[in-house]
Amino acid sequence: MITRVSACALASALAATTFAPVPAHATTREEPTRVTTSAANTEIKPPVAEKRPHSYTHHGITIEDPYDWLYDKSYPTVDDEDVLSHLKAENAYFEAKMAAQKGLIEALFSEMRARIKEDDSTVPQKDGDYLYWSEFEEGAQYRKHYRKPVAGGEAELLIDENALAEGYDYFRLGAVAISQNGRYLAYSTDTNGSERYTARIKDLATGALLPDVLENLRGDLVWVANDTALVYGPSTEEWRTLEAKLHVIGTPVEQDVTLYKEEDQSFGVATGLTAQEDWLIIATGDNETSEVRLVPAANPTAEPILVKARQKGVEYAVDVRDGEVWVWTNDNHINFRLAKAKLESPGEWQTVIAGSDDFYLTGFDLFKDFFVTEGRLNGLDQIQLRSYADPAKITPITFPEASYTAALANNPEYDMKKLRLAYQSMVTPSTVYDYDVASGKLETLKTQEIPSGYDPSLYVAERVSVQARDGTMVPVSIMMRKDRAEILKKAGIKGPGPLHLYAYGAYGYAVPPGFSTARLSLVDRGFAYAIAHIRGGDDLGRRWYLQGKLFARTNTFNDFVDVGRGLIAKGYTAEGMVTASGGSAGGELMGAVINQDPAQYGAVVAHVPFVDVLNTMLNEKLPLTPGEWQEWGNPITDKAAFAYMLSYSPYDQVTAKAYPPLLVTAGLNDPRVTYWEPAKWVAKLRELKTDDNLLLLKTNMGAGHGGQSGRWNSLRETAEEYAFILWQVGMADNPEPK
């Protein structure tokens, strides 16, 4: 239970992967949409949203937006009866159309659940005088968190998420921090999916909750001032974190002190502790620029030390060890370098590890006797141990597979003799290792157990490259059964069979080629499952990310379309048998590719899709818009950005043509991609599409960006998604998986 945070993890927390609400100005109020049936025709009809005149003009271009009214002006309260009626009608339509697949959904849910060890627990990890771990009880939706003394003794229940979730349709545990003396536990919870958390403090000596309550916050909770105070980040009404505040335990919240306040509305603030837990890091930044201040953790109201003033386009993150400031930065190389400086002159950075065209440095961690650099080489994760005396000497931690994902896991103490690692691949279940620093040996502590059985020798993972239209080679990770051809033949499927293609492609997030038990429900039925490592992620380095943002954004969409076409050409699948899914910015991807090449896809699932891009980026009053201009462009001031965004914004580019079967999800309380984006998109698709393919919208009326909470509720939504996919490619009656 740690307050220490990786410098680069803290920097990543500032890179917003979220989206803002869209404005609406309804001009008329007519009868709400209703679901109707008749004696002659009991087939439920798809809801048809009314069109209400609305338009806006920028840079001399006028855009008609007749579905703008679906945004409830009182948001985050949604009480417009017309809006609610329409969303409920869409949900009723979803339930009615999916009713015929209820048996398949239950079968999928049952087999997915059977692969999950219900009474599972994490591997205990030492932090100070205690071992900490969490576990699920059989049947439980949520975890329990425990600790026990290293010296021996009984386990102590710290947090029972199930008890905290009781009475709520949605629950998520946020930040958790135990004071350095081990007495106090601070934690935050979200009970409606809005991601506005409430923090409480528990006295572990008595089990009682202190009267202190911190409302409406985001981010971490950090113990400072010798465990007498907490640093936290309150959320503004616009869902922005612009302050680092100090709460002294036992004092009124109204007396909390602002340690730092950010004036630039496009920036966000995050906090954490350094490796030796003696300095409080106050980091602020947007998607491309950073600025960091240091404050003594024992005296958090002291004058902050500015490491280096912000410079547009320069990102950096810091840690401190023995009076030296260590800096990870892209100031002179696109793939970042590692530098250090004296605390007395923190802005004078001297290179420790130079930037490299080949090795992409993604982060570093400082420990007492060594430090660790993480990164990617040819798209594969690297973990490297280095000595302070000779940083150029590398001790790599090697893994046996050709394609995998690996990273440092929970390593809370400064003096670590064994490093906790996390590892998996598309065919290897999640594995927890301890790496003995002295001997260089890996010890397997736990391998994900699959109660219903799993034999990795039945599967094959491949990594291929597909040429995009501009000549760029795009890597693709693929998993399938070795006996796929026999499975398809038994199911009566002719040709190469279906392939599911997944990607994200934004914010420099690289989708790891990791393991999924749920995915087996497609693969064991003859699907190939592919992850497209498209531009917009940083899979092949920072330049790979930059080639998919701003005025290069359409590279992301083109890569995905071309990967699908390339896999068809290579014989993995056929036109109309490619299924695809993506969420949030990946949902924007889904909207763009079905506008571009709808015939390729047999079914598409778009989760909380960011599809009304232009409207969102035009409204600077919305929660996240100012911070997103660095990622997408500012169409308010830049005519070229307006035109470019208009050219690909999925909602704006819906036209009269045939679209593939489509399942769309939304969350009524989602602050990242607000519910009306998918609702407006579906309404426009219903109006203009020329096909009879199924189009479904499911809005979680009590959840947010991540869908329903709880491991079984979430798994059931995955079962619904897979049932939709199997149904639409003609495999709903497929035999039981191989």
Angstrom distance (rounded) from CA 662 to CA 590: 10
Residue 425 lies in a domain: no
Does pLDDT of 37 surpass 60? no
Sign (positive or negative) of CA dihedral 546, 549, 551, 556 = positive
Model pLDDT for residues 216-231, shown as the tens digit of each residue: 998 899 999 999 999 9
Counting every residue written for the chain, the total comes to 738
Please give the C-alpha separations between residue 517 and each of 426, 430, 435, in angstroms, as whole numbers.
10, 10, 26
Residue 390 lies in a domain: no
Model pLDDT for residues 168-220, shown as the tens digit of each residue: 998 999 999 999 999 999 999 999 888 889 999 999 999 999 999 999 998 89
Does pLDDT of 4 surpass 50? no
Share of the chain above pLDDT 90, in %: 83
Residue 722 lies in a domain: yes
Residue 211 lies in a domain: no
C-alpha angle 171-175-178 in degrees, rounded to nearest 5: 125
pLDDT of residue 194: 85
pLDDT of residue 135: 96
pLDDT of residue 711: 83
Nearest to 617 by CA among 25, 219, 56: 56
Could you confirm whether 584 is annotated as catalytic?
A: yes
Average pLDDT value for residue range 502-520? 96
Residue 516 lies in a domain: yes
The answer to whether 81 and 89 have CB atoms below 8 angstroms apart is no
Q: Which residue has the higher pLDDT, 388 or 42?
A: 388
Model pLDDT for residues 666-715, shown as the tens digit of each residue: 988 877 788 989 999 999 999 999 999 999 999 988 766 666 777 888 89
Angstrom distance (rounded) from CA 118 to CA 139: 6
Could you confirm whether 705 is annotated as catalytic?
A: yes
pLDDT of residue 435: 97
Please give the C-alpha separations between residue 216 and each of 162, 238, 656, in angstroms, as whole numbers.
22, 12, 44
Q: Which two tokens stand for residue 136?
A: 């699920």
Average pLDDT value for residue range 559-582? 98
pLDDT of residue 610: 94
Q: Which of 73-87, 331-345, 671-685 has the highest mean pLDDT?
A: 331-345
Q: Which residue has the higher pLDDT, 8 or 651?
A: 651
pLDDT of residue 43: 76
pLDDT of residue 95: 96
Average pLDDT value for residue range 27-53? 55
pLDDT of residue 7: 53
In the structure, what pLDDT confidence band is assigned to residue 6 with cuts at 50, 70 and 90?
A: low
Residue 157 lies in a domain: no
Helix, strand, coil percentages (3-state) for the chain, rounded to 5, are 20, 30, 45
pLDDT of residue 704: 65
Residue 227 lies in a domain: no
> In the chain, how many domains are there?
1
In the structure, what pLDDT confidence band is assigned to residue 19 with cuts at 50, 70 and 90?
A: very low
Residues of the domain holding 718: 56-70+80-113+453-728
Catalytic residue among 194, 516, 584, 649: 584
Model pLDDT for residues 357-400, shown as the tens digit of each residue: 999 999 999 999 999 999 999 889 999 999 999 999 999 999 88
Catalytic residue among 80, 286, 652, 670: 670
pLDDT of residue 576: 97
What long-range pairs does 388-392 form, CB within 8 A, spacing at least 24? 391/338, 391/352, 391/353, 392/353
pTM given for the model: 0.91
In the structure, what pLDDT confidence band is assigned to residue 626 with cuts at 50, 70 and 90?
A: confident
pLDDT of residue 269: 96
pLDDT of residue 105: 96
Residue 167 lies in a domain: no
Q: Which two tokens stand for residue 332?
A: 């002179």
Q: Residue 10: helix, strand or coil by DSSP?
A: helix
Catalytic residue among 220, 425, 705, 709: 705
pLDDT of residue 701: 86
pLDDT of residue 631: 93
Does pLDDT of 12 surpass 60? no
Q: Which CATH number covers residue 525?
A: 3.40.50.1820
* Mean pLDDT, rounded, of the chain: 91
